[in-house]
Amino acid sequence: MTLSEVTISELRELASRYPEARSALLPMLHLVQSTEGNVTNQGIELCAEILGISAAEVSGVSTFYTMYKRRPMGKHHVGVCTNTLCAVMGGDAIFERLKDHLDVGNDETTDDGKVTLEHIECNAACDFAPVMMVNWEFFDNQTPESAIEVVDKLRAGKKVQATRGATITSWRAAERVLAGFEDGLVDQGPAAAGPSLAGLEIAAEKGWSAPSANEAKAKPNEVPDDKVGAVEQADTSRAESETKDEEGKK
C-alpha cells in the first residue's frame, strides 16, 4: 500500500506542531499505523525524510515501543494485562481462555481478520484488575466469560462499550486519535470510577486537601497543621505489622 497525499500532508502537519520537528515522530508513527495497519517501510522512510533523521533512527523507535506494530493488525486489538496484579487476579486465565476461544497465539490475528490478541504489560489500571484493553480502551474487572462476550461481539460487528471510555470503533481509528486527530468521542463514558476515586472520597469526608504549591515549596518535609490529623488517622497498622513480621524473620 502507498501512503496517500492526504496522509503525507497530515504527517507534515504533525511535524510542524512541535518546536523540534523530531518530537513529532511518535504521533507520526501512530498516523502511519492508522492508514496502513502497521508501521511500513515506506512509512519509516517518509517519517525520516520529513523529520531529517535517518530511517534507522525511526526504525529503532518503532521497534522499541510495543504499541508500534511491524505486522498488519486485525480490525481490533485486544490486549490482556498479564502483569503481576492482573495475572493473579485472573488475567492469565483470561488470556488462556481467549487464546483457545479465538484459536490464536500471542500477537496473532483471527482467521477473519477481526481480532489481534496480545498479552500486555501493566496499564496503570491495577485497581480494576484484571483489565483488558480493546483498541486501548479499558475493560475493567474482567472474567474469562466477560472477555469472551466482548470478543464475540467485536467479531459480530455489534456495538461494544468500554467500561471506562468510548464506544469501540477500530484499532486504526484509535491510532488516528493517538496521532492527535480527535474523533469527538473523548468525553464518552466515565474516565475515573470506583476504586480510583476512593482516596478522593476519604479526603473529602475528612476535610483533607493537598497543600498549595507555595506551602509545599516553603516546607517540603513538614506536615502542614491541617494535615496532622490526616497522618494520625491514617490506618498504617497492617503495613506496620507486615514490617514487623519481615523483621522477625531476619
List residues binding ligand FES (CB under 6 A). 81, 83-86, 122-123, 125-126, 129, 131
Instruction: Give the position of cell 496499564.
Output: 123
Distances (CA, A) of 207 to 23, 125, 229: 42, 26, 10
CB of 127 to ligand FES, least distance (A): 8
| Nearest residue to the partner ligand FES, using Cβ | 86
Q: Which is nearer to ligand FES, 122 or 178 (CB)?
A: 122
* Cell, residue 58: 525511526
Task: Write b or e for each residue in 32-58: b if 16 or more Cβ atoms lie within 10 A of its Cβ, otherwise e.
Answer: bbbbbbebbeebbebbbebbebeeeeb
Dihedral in degrees, nearest 10, Cα atoms 217, 218, 220, 224: -110
Closest CA to 3 of 31, 23, 22: 31
CB of 126 to ligand FES, least distance (A): 4
